[in-house]
Every structure is written in C-alpha cells, then in structure tokens.
Amino acid sequence: MPSILRIIRSAAVFIALAGLLFIIGPTSVDAALVASPDVPFLQPHMFRSNPPIGPQPFVIQSIIPGPGPVGQGEDDPTGTSDIPLPDDTVDRIVTRIRNVNSLCDRIPRIYRIDCLADQYDVISRSLPYGRGTGLLKRELFRASRELAKISQCETKYSGTGEDCFVDPTVRKIQPKVVIGGRTIESSRPLTPIKPRKLRAARKAANFILGETLTVLLRSTENSTRRRDQYARIVQAMDSNKFLLRS
C-alpha cells in the first residue's frame, strides 16, 4: 500500500510540474525538478526541448540599403590589404566617375556641386562590399554627404538666411543625358546655389574633394599592387574638379 500511495503521489507531482512547465517554461522548473525527491525518474533535460510560452524579448535589426551604414560587411574596411581589384571593376569605376562630368557639366553652374554630391552617392551605392572596395565605397559616400551639405542651410558650410548658400528663388532640376546609348541622370532633384555664394561654395567643395583624394592615396602606401589602380580612380575624381572651376 505505501508503494501505491508513493506512485500516486509521484504521478500527482508529475502532472503539477507538467502544468507549471506549460505555463512558465522549462528554465524555472529545472530547480524544482532537481530538488524533488519524490520524482527521481524526472530530469531537467527532459523538458529543455520545449520553448518557453508567452511573450519573448526580441531585437530589431536596422537594415539600411546601399552602403549605409558604410563599413558593415566589408572584408577590407581600411583599404590597406595588398589585394588588387579586378581590372574590369576598376575600369567601370573610372568610367562612372568620368561620366559625372558629362552629366554635371551640361547644367548651370549653380547646380553642379549638388550634382557631384548626387553622383558620388549613386556610385558609392553601386560598389559591392568586399576586399579592395571597402575604403573607396566609404570615402565616396562620405564625400557625397559632405558635398550635399553645401546645398543645405544650417550646416558647417552654409548658414541661415542671407548666409545660406541655397537659392530658394530658383527651382530644382533633375537632369538626364544619353552618352553612348546609356542614360545618365541624377537620382534626385538638385538644389541650386546662390550665384553670389558660388565662390565660397566651390572653395568648400574643393576642400572636401582634396580631403577624399588624400585619404585614398594614403591608403595605398602599404599596398603597392593596388597603387596604380587607385591612382587611376583618384585621377578620375580629380578631373571632377573641372566642374568647380568653370
């Protein structure tokens, strides 16, 4: 009779613990199982395969298209590894950078700085993540953001009111040209600069470009195999300064 009562008691404990597990999950029950002398045949690991019931914490991951946040997913974020880019990749990058002149030179001067900002953004977003492109992708993206600030009010380059470079009296434009059967266009409307502010705006744009070119050239100091490739890219970007002189 004591054996029967013991079995009944153990069964009752088992049912109670199973119900508790269903409500609060296995983690909180483990200690109770280990401390129960009446159920020696039950072990905590028997319940760990069941997921806990009820609301669970979760993490929201930010997914940003294009390069942003630039640097994530890159094998060579500093651009200093001695791994050359594929020649066809370099050719495409140089061609796209040179084509910036073909688009931006055909529009009035007051739009050219923002046109340059827009095209650098487009190029940076088109570059794949991977060794050899990490630094270039990041620097083009940074340059595009800094150049875009010139065509905005209340930035480190442009003040407010009369000190703002932006000309609110002139409409924005979204230019498009066809070169060799290929269409090149701005990805967004371009903001005009006040004619009397062009000199200051160009000075700021030249500083941004010069800073970008310096970073790219310095990145090849320990990478002789890529020095010639980056030299071609820097030369193409340097040609974009033509847009700031005319």
- Could you read off the pLDDT of 123-161 as tens digits, one per residue? 999 988 766 688 899 999 999 999 999 999 989 888 888
- Greater pLDDT, 244 or 226: 244
CA distances from 83 to 79, 97, 137, 169 (A): 9, 22, 16, 50
Long-range contacts of 41-48 (CB under 8 A, 24+ apart): 41/10, 42/14, 42/17, 47/21
Return the bridge partners of 176, or none: 185
SS3 of 177, please?
A: strand
Q: Where are the domains of the chain?
A: 2-46, 87-244
- Residues 182-191 have pLDDT tens digits of 889 999 999 9
- Looking at per-residue pLDDT, the higher value among 210 and 36 belongs to 210
Tell me which residue of 181, 185, 184, 205 sits closest to 193, measured CA to CA.
Answer: 205
- pLDDT value at residue 57: 35
pLDDT at site 32: 41
Q: How many other CB atoms sit within 10 Å of the CB of residue 206?
A: 13
CB 190 within 8 A of CB 122: no
| pLDDT greater than 70 at residue 40 | no
Whether residue 191 contacts residue 164, with contact meaning beta carbons closer than 8 Å, is answered with no
- What was the pLDDT predicted at 180? 81
Residues 44 and 28: their CA atoms lie apart, in Å, by 10
pLDDT category at 81 given cuts 50, 70, 90 is: low
Q: Minimal CA–CA distance to 17: which of 37, 3, 36, 45?
A: 36
